[in-house]
Chain A
Amino acid sequence: MKTLLVLAWRNIWRNKRRTWITAASIFFAVVLSTLMVSIQKGAWDRMEESVVNYYFGYIQIHAKGYWNDRSIDLAFAETDSLRAIPERVPGVETTVPRLESFALAARGDNTTGVMVVGIDPEREHLMTRLKDRIVAGSYFADGEAAALIAEGVAERLGLSLGDTIILLSQGYHGVNAAGKYPVKGLVHFGSPELNKQMVYLPLPVAQYFYGAEGLITSIALKVEDKDEVPEVLEVLRSSLDTTRYEVMDWHEMMPELVEARAVDTAGNYLMLLILYLIVSFGIFGTILMMTAERSYEFGVLVAIGMKRLQLSVEVWLEILFIAFLGTFLGFLASFPVVYWFHTHPIDFTGNKEMAETYARFGFEPIFPAAFEPFVFLSQAMVVFVITTILALYPFWKIGRLKPVEAMRH
C-alpha cells in the first residue's frame, strides 16, 4: 500500500495540468454547493429570526389552553415567581410580558384587522430590539397612551405620524374595548406577515383598553442560546404548574412555519440533488478524460506486471489526493465568497413584483447566506464523498482493459 501511495503522490505532480484541471472541477463543485446551501439556509434563518427572534421568542408561557383559543379570557397575572424565571432558570436571559388580542383598526373609512399587543417597553426592547426597528417617530416614553404601528398597517390605513388610530375589539370577559391613540412611531418588520398586523401599546394602556387590569396573555422568553431551547423547556415544564400554564417552544407555536421550512427544504434538496448531479458530471468528465488518455499507460503497466487491482487502487488514490486538494481549496475559497453574500445579501426589494410574490409566501425578499462552519464542512464532505465514489470508475475501466489493445493507442 505504501508503494501505491508513493506512486500516486508522485504521479499527480508529474502531470500538473491534469491534476489542476481535475482539482478545479472539484473546487468549483465545493464552492457552488456551499454557496447554494448557505443561501438556502440563510434565507430561512432570516425568516425564522424575523418571526421568532423579533417577536415570538423561542419559548412562551401562557395560561393552559391559550394558544389554541387565543382568547383574552385566558389572561393571567405575572406573579413574582414568573417574573423571577431569568434568575431561576439557566439559559434564560430575560422574559417579556405581553397582553395580546386581535382588534379592528380604523382610520376614516379604512379598516383592517390587527394584533394589538401591550408591552413593557423596556423589557420588550431587551428581547426584540423593538426600539431599533422604528423607522419613523420615536419609542414609548413612560406611561403615555400612544401606539407604535407596523409600516404595513400604516400603509393600509393611510396613517402617518401624529394621526390617530382607532381600535375596536372585545376585551376581557366580553367587555367592550374601544380606544383611539396617536401614532407615535412606525415599525419595520422583516416578516411581511407581522408587518401588516402589528400594533403596540404600552402594557398598562393595553390592559385598560382590553379591561384586563394587571393581566397578560403571554410571557415570551429570550434564551441565551437557541440550541439550549429543549433544556430550558424541560426545566420550565418541570418547575411550573402545568395545570395552569402551558410552555411552548416556537416549533409548537408555529407548526406552519416549521412545515413550510420542511417543505421548502425538501424542494431545496431536490435542487441540491440536481446541483450535485451537475457537479458529478463535471467531475466524472474529468475522471473519464484522465482515464481515457491514460489507457496506453495502463496497458503498459499491466503488461509489465502491475496487477489490475494495484493499478486501480493507485489511480483511485491519485483521484483521492486530487479530491482532497480540490475540496480543501474549495473549502477555503468558500469562506470569502459566502461571507460576501452573508454581508451583501441578494436583495429583491427593488423589484416590486418579486417582492410582492415573496411577501405572499411570508418572506422578506432578502436572501443572505448563512455563515456556518457546518455548511462549509458538510458540503466539502459531500463533494469529497461524491468524488471518492466517482473515482471507482477506473476500477471498472482497468478491470476490462486489454493490455495489447491499450498499448496500440
Chain B
Amino acid sequence: MIILKATGLTKVYNPDTVPVHALRGVDLEVHEGEFTAIVGPSGSGKTTLLNIIGGLDRPDEGKVWINGTDISTLSENRLIDFRRDNIGFVFQSYNLIPVLTARENAEFVMLLQGRPKAERMARTGQLLQEVGLGDKMDYRPTQLSGGQQQRVAVARALAPKPRFILADEPTANLDSVSTRNLLDIMARLNEEENVTFLFSTHDQRVIERARRVITLEDGKIVSDETFDR
C-alpha cells in the first residue's frame, strides 16, 4: 500500500536574488512498512525533501499525497492537525522541549490530541521502556546524553501512532554506540509494529541498515535501490 506519493517536487530558495535549486522535480513513492534512507551529499536537497513531505515547508511546484490526502491543498491549521495525527518527526538536533521531562516530551503530541491521561501514561511508559529509558522518564533533556535525547525524540514521534516517521539525519550527533542502539530500536519498531521510516542520512552505518536507499544529487533522484536485509 502506498503511504506517500510525491510528484514533480520543485523548490527554489532565493528566487529573486541568488537562486538555489534545492529540488528539481522529484517523484517518489513510499509503501507502508518501508525502512528507507535518502542519502546524498550536503546541499543535495535531503532536508528540503523531508520538510516538504512532512508539511513543514511548501514546494514551489509539485504535490504530496499522504494516505491519499493531497497535503498541498490543506490550510495551515488543517496541515498542522494532519501532521500531528499522521507524521512523526525525529530531528537531527533532537528538538526536545527543554523545560519538559522525557515523559512529558514523549506525551506532548498525545496531549495535543486530547488523549486521556491514563492512555498517555501507558503509551509513553511503554515506549520509553522500549527505547531503554524506563528509568529516566523524569529527566529533563539537559540531564540526558545525546543518544538518550534522540531516543526520547523517537518515543515522541511514535507516541501518537503516526502512519510514518520522518527522521532528518537522526544519528548525525550520536556516537557509534548510540547510533547502533537507535538503529536497533527503529528497526525493531519497523519490523514488529510495521512503522514506516523515511530518513535522510549520510551516515554509512544507517545506510547499511536501510532496505531501500534513494540517492539525491543537486535536487534530483539519481538512484533508487532496494536491498533484501
Residues of A within 8 A of B (CB): 3, 7, 11, 14-15, 296-297, 299-310, 403-404, 407
Contacts and interface: CB of A to CB of B under 8 A. Distances in A.
A309 B93 CA distance: 26
A407 B95 contact: yes
B54 to A, nearest CB: 8
Contacts of B65: none
Given A3-B114, A308-B76, A404-B51, A303 B156 contact: no
A14 B80 contact: no
When A and B form their complex, which 6 residue pairs have the shortest distance between CB atoms, in order from nearest? A305-B84, A14-B99, A300-B95, A404-B56, A307-B80, A305-B83
A3 B109 CA distance: 12
Given A306-B80, A306-B112, A407 B91 contact: yes
A187 to B, nearest CB: 67
Contacts of B89: 303-304
A304 B154 CA distance: 12
**Dominant secondary structure at the A interface:** helix
A309 B80 CA distance: 11
Contacts, number: 58
Contact of B112 (A297, A300, A303, A305): A305
B217 interface: no
23 contacts: A3-B112, A3-B114, A7-B111, A14-B99, A297-B97, A299-B95, A300-B95, A300-B97, A303-B56, A303-B89, A303-B91, A304-B156, A305-B80, A305-B109, A305-B113, A306-B84, A307-B77, A307-B80, A308-B76, A308-B77, A310-B112, A403-B56, A407-B93
B78 to A, nearest CB: 10
Interface residues of B, number: 27
Nearest to B48: A404
Given A307-B77, A307-B80, A11 B99 contact: yes
A302 B51 contact: no
Nearest to A7: B111
Contacts of B114: 3
Contacts of A11: 99
Given A302-B80, A304-B83, 17 more contacts: A11-B99, A297-B98, A297-B99, A300-B91, A303-B54, A303-B83, A303-B95, A304-B156, A305-B81, A305-B84, A305-B85, A305-B112, A306-B84, A306-B112, A308-B77, A404-B56, A407-B95
Contacts of A309: 77
A370 B81 CA distance: 55
Contacts of B112: 3, 305-306, 310
A394 to B, nearest CB: 16
B2 interface: no
Interface in B36-53: 51
B224 interface: no
Contacts of A14: 99-100
A157 to B, nearest CB: 76
B11 to A, nearest CB: 12
Interface of B: 51, 54, 56-57, 76-77, 80-81, 83-85, 89, 91, 93, 95-100, 108-109, 111-114, 156
A305 B112 CA distance: 8
Contacts of B57: 404
A304 to B, nearest CB: 6
Contacts of B98: 297
Contacts of B100: 14
A3 B115 CA distance: 11
B198 to A, nearest CB: 16
A3 B111 contact: yes
Contacts of B56: 303, 403-404
Contacts of A403: 56
B130 to A, nearest CB: 20
A296 B51 CA distance: 16
Given A305-B112, A404-B56, A15 B99 contact: yes
Contacts of A301: 97, 108
B85 to A, nearest CB: 7
Nearest to B101: A14
A381 B24 CA distance: 57
Contacts of A303: 54, 56, 83, 89, 91, 95
Contacts of A308: 76-77, 80
A308 B56 CA distance: 13
B99 A304 contact: no
Nearest to B156: A304
A309 B76 CA distance: 11
A110 B85 CA distance: 96
Contacts of B109: 304-305
Nearest to B160: A305
Nearest to A408: B93
Pick the most buried of A3, A11, A300: most chain B CB atoms within 10 A of its CB: A300
B55 to A, nearest CB: 9
Contacts of B156: 304
Contacts of A3: 111-112, 114
A310 B84 CA distance: 13
